[in-house]
Amino acid sequence: MTFAPSTIDNDGVALLWLLALLPFLAIIFLRPRGVAPGDGPLAHVPPYTSITYPLIGSLQYFSGHWDFLRAAAQKGSVSFHLANHKCIALGLDSRQAFFGEPNVCSALGYAIMLAGTPNLSKDFMKTAGIDVTLGGRSYKFLTALIRKDRVINNMPTLYSYAYDRMGHLAATTINPFETFPEIIFRLTVTITTSLDIAANPAACNALLKVFHGLDMAATPVTVLFPWFLGPDRIRRFSLMKQFYNTIRETIDERKAQGRNDDDPMQFLLDEGLSPIEITQFAIAVLFTGNANTAVIVPAFVCDLATHPTYLSLVREEIETFIARFSPDTSLPLKTRIQSIAYDDWIRPGALPILERCLKETIRLRVATPLHRLNDTGADIQMGGALVRQGTIVSFHTSFVHHDENIFTAPLVWDPERFTEERAEDKKTPLAFVGWGAGRHPCIGQKFATFETFLLTSLMVILYDIEVVDQYGQPLGDMPPVDLNNAVVSPPITPVHLRLSSRR
């Protein structure tokens, strides 16, 4: 999702209507309480940025997330607002406080900044039926669903889905940013949502289209004025209703047949969740599980393809890895690869070159703002800044990932920076935050690593790959990384992969 100036133009009618009402709303939007001077003790509240417009706040945030946060926080943390949303931008020196503070909620922070909820108030969200945290239970449920034993029980299914999709691409040209998200979404549904839905590729692809629609319907207007029932907000509600209908139909069919399957949906039902709560959980989890992985995996394969030396090294390493568990090369690849246990894929150091290359792709391409909401009910301290209740705190990964004082030539794909000899990520605290950090690590890192290594292995073993543009012309390099996206996104310039079978 990219908020660009053209996005505002596309929703121009709604925005103009709202702007016409601004004089009447001034008393509400004239700097949110907790940020404005004169509203209580503000000795430690970060100073207010000058990069703003009267009443409505820092619209510059939407046209360039990194440009705005870098300029606003270049001398330290600053306060800003987006209509009635109170925000603080933290700079490089405050990153340890950002990742080390446990009493803030990332789920609600993202939900608000990506137009997922209508209000900062958790109580309001609960009464509206869209509490993405399920009263704080979502983390517990997700942790249980991605537990190692549950993943291991589903390994035959995961292997089958992955190979059946990747093994039948044949000699063709694909858009990897369409092909990989389809299979990643299906694998994630298998582990976190429902075996019934995962077994139906058409249903999975229909839900994936819902996610794309939700992404497109998230505009500056829906963030600034979440209460305004404009075209995009109505569209988002309609798409969520489609998702709910799929979940409800799956539950009703299961109950009608008297089935008690051992899968994520049954687990959530046994925990007492209603269909609407399961829908809320599934939307939040599938977004979390796919927002990054579905872009990183195809980007990773493309990065390897544009660096033939690393592609050859990775291919050799994977072939050796597979042979360690199944040395009989006369067996089908699907059979051989299924002999590898889940623990073997994710064991640190098992695939050192692949690990190093993936880490570099993540460092280079995870260039987005991270968000936390103070929903503790009280003001808290974060890196010397007073963070009022209801305030969203943001930190951009490019403060570390693309800092030339931390990483040499930070916009160049160079896995050697993570070797023991160079170890650029070890010389500065929290230099690499691609998997989260501190008190906010990515709890799905192991499963995401498994997905990435499995799909990449199938691609490089089964096919010779070449990166081409939309017209089939070879590309020597990937397009430059756009640092101003709201979430990890595909390249603006279309990128395709030309495949030729190696078997």
Residue 498: burial class (beta carbons within 10 Å; 0-12, 13-18, 19+): middle
Mean pLDDT of the chain: 87
pLDDT band at 135 (very low <50, low <70, confident <90, very high): low
Sheet architecture: strand order including 173-174: 173-174, 496-501, 463-468
Scan for tokens 């690393």, then name that residue: 310
pLDDT, residue 236, reads 86
Q: Is the pLDDT higher at 456 or at 118?
A: 456
When pLDDT is averaged across residues 335-352 and rounded to a whole number, the result is: 97
- The per-residue pLDDT for range 474-497, each reduced to its tens digit, is 999 999 999 999 999 999 999 999
Question: Other CB atoms closer than 10 Å to residue 110's CB: what's the count?
Answer: 24
pLDDT, residue 499, reads 96
Length of the chain: 503
Q: Is the pLDDT higher at 105 or at 311?
A: 311
Q: Report the C-alpha gap between 483 and 4 in whole angstroms.
A: 12
When pLDDT is averaged across residues 5-24 and rounded to a whole number, the result is: 43
Residue 348, pLDDT > 60, answer yes
pLDDT, residue 127, reads 35
pLDDT, residue 306, reads 98
pLDDT, residue 364, reads 98
pLDDT, residue 453, reads 98
Q: Report the C-alpha gap between 392 and 113 in whole angstroms.
A: 9
pLDDT band at 136 (very low <50, low <70, confident <90, very high): low
Q: Report the C-alpha gap between 414 and 411 in whole angstroms.
A: 9
- The per-residue pLDDT for range 100-128, each reduced to its tens digit, is 999 898 888 988 898 754 333 343 334 33
Task: Give me 371's structure tokens.
Answer: 């968000």
- The per-residue pLDDT for range 212-265, each reduced to its tens digit, is 898 888 889 988 988 888 898 889 889 989 999 999 999 999 999 999 999 999
- The per-residue pLDDT for range 255-300, each reduced to its tens digit, is 999 999 999 999 999 999 999 999 989 988 888 878 899 999 999 9
SS3 sequence, 128-148?
CCCCCCCCCCHHHHHHHHCCH
Residue 400, pLDDT > 80, answer yes
Helix %, strand %, coil % of the chain (to 5): 50, 10, 40
pLDDT, residue 116, reads 57
Annotated binding site for heme: 442
pLDDT, residue 287, reads 85
pLDDT, residue 132, reads 53
Concatenate the DSSP letters of all residues of 27-54 into one string: HHHSS-TTTSTTSS--TTSPPBPSS-BT
Which residues does 37 contact at the CB level (< 8 Å), separation at least 6? 48
Residue 38, pLDDT > 90, answer no
Annotated binding site: 442
pLDDT, residue 11, reads 46
66 within 8 A of 60, measured Cβ to Cβ: no
pLDDT, residue 139, reads 85
H helix or E strand, kind and range, residue 423: none
When pLDDT is averaged across residues 345-349 and rounded to a whole number, the result is: 96
Long-range contacts of 235-243 (CB under 8 A, 24+ apart): 236/115, 239/210, 239/213, 239/214, 240/210, 240/214, 240/279, 240/283, 242/206, 242/210, 243/207, 243/210, 243/279, 243/282, 243/283
Scan for tokens 């990219």, then name that residue: 2
Residue 97, pLDDT > 50, answer yes
- The per-residue pLDDT for range 365-379, each reduced to its tens digit, is 999 999 999 999 999
φ and ψ at residue 211, rounded to 5 degrees = -65, -45
